[in-house]
């Protein structure tokens, strides 16, 4: 094997250097000109064989990753337009932490991005492209985020689920982390994903006014009550990250994690957009925001200050059934949090506390949201209630597109990320979430 021969040659070069060094050390003298030339040659040989060994070892590791991934990735399917892979969701669940899957997915994503910029592939990337029959010419890449957390629920709008898509793990990880980092609010609400973006009617029910009872032997079972069910419509509004321009040099720089970089940028941009409309949206050609839909639980006496009594009244304006929910929380912008932290109760103790690194007020979590209003006349700076009553809907696959000739004169390529999203507060009239409104 080449590797074995390279290792032997490197050892021989090292032995020659060691012998020369031992002779001069024993005789306590410096190298002669001839010995110095021999030492330099042996040193150059050592470096040459060392580089060849490193190359062979890297190739061996990469080949093993590919071989390991082959065992459970059924292969990629060519497409005339979109670049999509076969359905390997089940396999991915079983091997979610497998480094081979991560390596293959990240490499395929990078290959696609490089070819979109007409940048040549290296030998390893060419091998991967051939091995997986990967279509690098499609201008659209569909990405299945596979977001998994306890709140996530699968909600199919068609009898059969659409097949999985290319999932660059680094991209998804960075995208999802950025979504959570830039919107604590969206990380706490109830979320569903649907395969398609068709209009969806969400069933609702407010049964708080009804109660069960006791029935005797052979007696009639209760009285008829009004069925508390209804439906609320959820759409799928298209959101864009806006364009990210990438130079050809950046794409070919192996020191740059272009996959994670794009994931973080797109995640941050869309997180801010989702959070803005989920907080303040009017529902007209955009999602319903939680603040406009929430009922007013308390109107402050002042238009410039919030008092202890204002917070107590807002707290108790929400039904105890919703207050006892684990997802019940306060929400306000950071500047308002700073105001609340200075308030004290009748004994002089701060209302604001820190429990297990989570800021709380009256025992309920405080969520910071940059899109909440500031303290001013008639604004609604504080929201309180069960945040899981706000539902968000994501259409399963995000779509990344290449902007072809738009930046050709600067040797750059534009990438844009699109995904559909909607949100609304269900049964807003039930008062699960309420706001504090400042005085005029």
Place of tokens 């990078």: 110
In this structure, of 5-9, 23-27, 368-372, the range with the lowest mean pLDDT score is 23-27
- Say what the pTM is: 0.65
Query: pLDDT class for 165, splitting at 50, 70, 90?
Result: very low
pLDDT of 393 higher than 90: yes
In this structure, of 90-99, 229-238, 301-310, 348-357, the range with the lowest mean pLDDT score is 90-99
Place of tokens 């060519």: 78
In this structure, of 227-231, 233-237, 303-307, the range with the lowest mean pLDDT score is 227-231
Q: What is the pLDDT of residue 155?
A: 29
| 3 state SS of 330 | strand
Best CA proximity match to 178, nearest among 99, 97, 276, 262: 262
pLDDT of 354 higher than 90: no
The rounded Cα 213 to chain-centroid distance in angstroms is: 47
pLDDT tens-digit profile of 241-299?
999 888 877 766 655 667 677 878 888 899 999 999 999 999 999 999 999 999 999 99
In this structure, of 60-69, 236-245, 397-406, 430-439, the range with the lowest mean pLDDT score is 60-69
Q: What is the pLDDT of residue 81?
A: 44
Structure tokens given for 415 = 């990438």
- Spatial distance between the Cα atoms of 275 and 265, rounded to a whole number of angstroms: 16
Query: pLDDT class for 152, splitting at 50, 70, 90?
Result: very low
In this structure, of 65-69, 88-92, 154-158, the range with the lowest mean pLDDT score is 154-158
Which of 198-202, 309-313, 424-428 is most confident? 309-313
Mean pLDDT value across residues 350-368: 91
Query: pLDDT class for 399, splitting at 50, 70, 90?
Result: confident
Query: pLDDT class for 228, splitting at 50, 70, 90?
Result: low
Contacts of 27 by beta carbon, 8 Å cutoff, 6+ apart: none
pLDDT tens-digit profile of 92-146?
444 444 455 556 766 777 787 777 766 778 888 888 888 877 777 776 766 655 4
Mean pLDDT value across residues 222-240: 80
pLDDT of 78 higher than 50: no
- The 433-437 sheet, strands edge to edge: 295-299, 433-437, 382-386, 328-332, 364-368, 358-361, 352-355
Q: What is the pLDDT of residue 302?
A: 96
Best CA proximity match to 208, nearest among 324, 75, 330, 82: 324
Contacts of 340 by beta carbon, 8 Å cutoff, 6+ apart: 306, 311, 332, 351, 352, 361, 366
Contacts of 203 by beta carbon, 8 Å cutoff, 6+ apart: 229, 230, 231
pLDDT tens-digit profile of 19-72?
888 888 788 888 888 988 888 898 889 888 888 888 888 777 767 655 655 544
């Amino acid at each position: 094997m080449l590797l074995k021969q390279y290792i032997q040659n490197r050892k021989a070069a090292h032995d020659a250097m060691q012998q020369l060094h031992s002779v001069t050390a024993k005789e306590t003298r410096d190298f002669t000109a001839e010995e110095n030339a021999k030492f330099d040659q042996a040193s150059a040989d050592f470096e040459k064989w060392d580089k060849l060994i490193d190359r062979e070892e890297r190739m061996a590791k990469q080949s093993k990753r590919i071989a390991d991934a082959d065992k459970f990735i059924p292969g990629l399917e060519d497409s005339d337009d979109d670049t999509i892979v076969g359905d390997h969701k089940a396999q991915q669940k079983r091997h979610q932490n497998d480094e081979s899957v991560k390596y293959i997915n990240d490499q395929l994503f990078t290959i696609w991005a490089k070819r979109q910029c007409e940048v040549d592939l290296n030998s390893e990337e060419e091998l991967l492209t051939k091995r997986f029959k990967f279509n690098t010419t499609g201008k659209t890449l569909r990405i299945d985020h596979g977001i998994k957390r306890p709140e996530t629920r699968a909600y199919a709008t068609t009898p059969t689920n659409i097949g999985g898509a290319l999932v660059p793990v680094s991209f998804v990880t960075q995208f999802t982390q950025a979504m959570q980092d830039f919107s604590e609010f969206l990380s706490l609400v109830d979320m569903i994903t649907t395969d398609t973006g068709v209009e969806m009617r969400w069933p609702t029910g407010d049964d708080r006014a009804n109660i069960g009872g006791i029935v005797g032997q052979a007696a009639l079972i209760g009285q008829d009550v009004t069925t508390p069910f209804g439906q609320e419509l959820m759409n799928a509004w298209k959101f864009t990250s806006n364009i990210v321009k990438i130079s050809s040099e950046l794409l070919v720089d192996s020191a740059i994690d272009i996959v994670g970089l794009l994931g973080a940028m797109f995640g941050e941009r869309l997180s801010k957009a989702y959070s803005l409309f989920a907080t303040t949206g009017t529902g007209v050609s955009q999602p319903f925001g939680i603040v406009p839909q929430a009922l007013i639980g308390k109107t402050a006496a002042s238009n410039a200050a919030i008092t202890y009594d204002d917070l107590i009244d807002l707290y108790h304006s929400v039904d105890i059934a919703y207050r006892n929910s684990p997802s019940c929380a306060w929400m306000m912008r950071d500047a308002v949090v700073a105001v609340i932290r200075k308030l004290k109760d009748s004994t002089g103790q701060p209302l604001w506390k820190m429990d297990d690194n989570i800021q709380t007020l009256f025992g309920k979590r405080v969520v910071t949201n940059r899109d909440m209003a500031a303290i001013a006349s008639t604004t609604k700076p504080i929201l309180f209630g069960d945040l899981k009553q706000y539902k968000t809907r994501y259409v399963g696959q995000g779509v990344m597109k290449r902007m072809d000739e738009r930046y050709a004169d600067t040797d750059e390529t534009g990438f844009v990320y699109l995904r559909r999203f909607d949100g609304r507060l269900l049964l807003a009239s039930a008062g699960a979430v309420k706001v504090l409104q400042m005085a005029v």
